[in-house]
Amino acid sequence: MAVTLKDVAALAGVSPSTVSRTCRDNPSISEETKEKVRRAMASLGYDPGVSSQPAAASLQGTRTIGVILPPSQKETYENSFYLEAIRGISQFCSHRHYINTVITGQNEDELLQVIRSLSRTGQVENFIILYSKQHDPVIDYLYNEGLLYVLIGKAYQYANQTIYIDNDNLLAGQEATEYLIGLGHQNIAYLGSDSSLMFSADRKSGYQLALALHHLPQKPENCLEVPSVPKDDSSALHSLLGNSDRPTAIVVSDDILAVALERVCLEIGLSIPRDLSIISFNNSLLARLTSPQLTSIDVNSCQLGIEAASQIINHMENPNLLATKIIVPHHLIERRSCRAL
C-alpha cells in the first residue's frame, strides 16, 4: 500500500498541513519541524512529488488566504450572509497584513479545479470555507492534501481534525420555534434549505425538538425543504398554505426564503402576521426591508468571518496547534412579522 501524507504526519507527530508545507519548503515551518518531517518521509520512503516553487510564490502562499464560496451559478452572490462573513474576514486579514482572495465556481468540479490550481502552484495554501455540507469533495481534497482550512459551519467530515466556527443552529432552531409557541401557536411549520447543508439540518432538528418538548404534533406535510429559492414555481409553498388546516406560523431557515414565502402569501391573499406569523434567520437587510419587517435570528455573520480569519492565521503562524471549535452566539430580533394568537 502506498505511503500517504497522513502516514508521514502520524510518524512525525505533526498535522498533515505541516507535512504539506514542509514539502513546499514553506517558511512558516521551523527548521527543526521540517527536519523531523523529512526524517519521517525518509523512514517511510514517501515521495512528495511536489516540485519546489520559487521563493516568491512560496512567500505569497504563506500570506494569502483563499475564501471559498459554495458552488453556485447565481444564488450565492445574492445572499448577504456570505458578504457579511467576507467583510469580517477582510477586516481581520487587513489588520494582520494578510491577503484574502475569493474563490468561486459554478459547480463542484469547477470549484475544485480552481482550488487545485492555486494550491499546487503555491499561490494559496490556506483556506476558509464559507459553508458546510455533507459529503463535500472540496473538504475531501483539502484534507487529503494536508492543506490548512477553517470551516464556517459544523464539520461533517473529519470533525475531530477540523477547525470550525459555527452557531449553535440546533439551539437557534429550537428557540425560534419556542418563541412562536410562547405566542400561542401550535400548528407550526418549517421551511428550510436542502438538509445536506449542515446549518439547515440543525435548524430543522431544533424545530422538531421544540415541538417534541412541548408535546405538539409533528406533521410531515408541515416540514418543507427546497433546494433553492423558489422563483416561478412556488407550487410547494402554495400547497403548504392552501389546505384547510394550514399552519398559523412558520420557522424559515433564511431571510431570502422568508421573502419568497411572503410573496406567496401576497399572491393567495394571506396577511402577515394576521393570518401567518413568520420567523427567519440571518437578520439581513431583507429582513428590514420587507413589509412587515421580519422577526429574525441574528447569527452574527460578520463575527463568524472575524473568528474564522483569526483562527486560520493563528494556525498558520503556529502549525502544530490542535483543531479548534468556536461557537458564536445568536440573538433574536423581534419585529412585526409575528403576533400572538
Domains along the chain with CATH numbers: 1-52 (1.10.260.40), 55-167+303-330 (3.40.50.2300), 169-298 (3.40.50.2300)
Q: Which of 170, 257, 240 is nearest to 205 (CA)?
A: 170
Confidence of residue 14 (pLDDT cuts 50, 70, 90): confident
> What are the distances in angstroms from CA 246 to CA 14, 79, 153, 186, 223?
56, 29, 32, 11, 12
- Over residues 16-43, the mean pLDDT reads 81
Asked if 197 and 228 count as a contact pair (C-beta separation under 8 A), the reply is: no
Q: Give the model's pLDDT for residue 190.
A: 97
Q: Give the model's pLDDT for residue 236.
A: 82
Q: Give the model's pLDDT for residue 189.
A: 97
- Over residues 309-332, the mean pLDDT reads 92
**What percentage of the chain exceeds 70 in pLDDT?**
92
Q: Residue 6, SS3? A: helix
Helix axes 301-317, 80-95, angle to 10 degrees: 40
Q: Which of 194, 248, 197 is nearest to 224 (CA)?
A: 194
Q: Could you tell me which residues come within 8 angstroms of residue 56 by beta carbon, excluding any fewer than 6 positions away?
A: none
**pLDDT at 233 exceeding the cut of 70:** no
Q: What is the chain's percent helix, strand, coil content, to nearest 5?
A: 45, 15, 40
Asked if 79 and 152 count as a contact pair (C-beta separation under 8 A), the reply is: no
Q: How many CA atoms lie within 13 A of 88 on its CB side?
A: 21
Q: Give the model's pLDDT for residue 231.
A: 63
Tell me the three cell numbers of residue 264. 406567496
DSSP state letter for 27: T
> What are the distances in angstroms from CA 299 to CA 6, 194, 275?
35, 19, 27
- Over residues 231-243, the mean pLDDT reads 78
**What percentage of the chain exceeds 90 in pLDDT?**
62
Q: Residue 167, SS3? A: coil
Encode burial over 274-305: b for 16+ CB neighbours within 10 A, e otherwise: eebbbbbbbbbebbeebeeebbbbbbbbbbbb
**pLDDT at 207 exceeding the cut of 60:** yes
Q: Residue 297, SS3? A: strand
Confidence of residue 54 (pLDDT cuts 50, 70, 90): very low
Confidence of residue 1 (pLDDT cuts 50, 70, 90): low
| Average predicted confidence (pLDDT) for the chain | 89
| Least confident piece of the model among 45-49, 170-174, 265-269, 297-301 | 45-49
**pLDDT at 5 exceeding the cut of 90:** no
Please state the pTM of the whole predicted model: 0.84
According to DSSP, the β-strands at 295-298 and 331-333 are antiparallel
- Over residues 304-328, the mean pLDDT reads 93
Of 146 and 17, the one with more pLDDT = 146
Q: Could you tell me which residues come within 8 angstroms of residue 17 by beta carbon, excluding any fewer than 6 positions away?
A: 146, 147, 148, 315, 319
Q: Could you tell me which residues come within 8 angstroms of residue 46 by beta carbon, excluding any fewer than 6 positions away?
A: 3, 4, 5, 7, 8, 40
- Over residues 264-276, the mean pLDDT reads 94
Query: What's the pLDDT tens digit per position in 105-155?
Result: 999 999 999 999 998 887 898 999 999 999 999 999 998 888 899 999 999
